[in-house]
Amino acid sequence: QLQLVESGGGLVQPGGSLRLSCSASGFTLDYYAIGWFRQAPGKEREGVSCISNKDGSTYYADSVKGRFTISRDNAKNTVYLQMNSLKPEDTAVYYCARDRIAFRLCVLADNKYDYWGQGTQVTVSS
């Protein structure tokens, strides 16, 4: 059964760090790009970052560039999102998702993704 499970969320003070994990099962992770998205209360879901399978290329939303780093460990079937210098506006539920099509460069558009995790809450507050 294909599944994505996020973990690592929590409450952190502004300026702090968290590392989110996206554990994949039921498919070959290294065939697919994986994206991270987030949704804050009352706001639309937005793309945060994605990582391609072909060359490991990455893409970041302007709002997180320089603060967040996405990486993947195909041997562990896991994609990570290291989040540093967190701000209150980073507060959201974070989701990982799998590209619909294998072996293509990632794009941060949620209609390009078919399987989604259940999400993990990140709260940045003092």
The model's pLDDT over 7-47, given as tens digits with 9 standing for 90+, comes to: 999 999 999 999 999 999 999 888 999 999 999 999 999 99
Query: What is the enclosing helix (H) or strand (E) of 20?
Result: strand 18-25
Q: What is residue 56's predicted lDDT score, i.e. its pLDDT?
A: 85
DSSP state of 118: -
User: Using CA atoms, how far apart are residues 41 and 79, in angstroms rounded to an integer?
Assistant: 25
Q: What is residue 76's predicted lDDT score, i.e. its pLDDT?
A: 94
10 Å Cβ neighbour count for 71? 14
User: Using CA atoms, how far apart are residues 106 and 58, in angstroms rounded to an integer?
Assistant: 8
Tell me the average pLDDT of the chain: 96
Q: What is residue 46's predicted lDDT score, i.e. its pLDDT?
A: 96
Q: What is residue 45's predicted lDDT score, i.e. its pLDDT?
A: 96
Task: Give the angle 43-37-123 at the CA atoms, nearest 5°.
Answer: 65
- Per the CB < 8 A criterion, the answer to whether 87 and 14 are in contact is yes
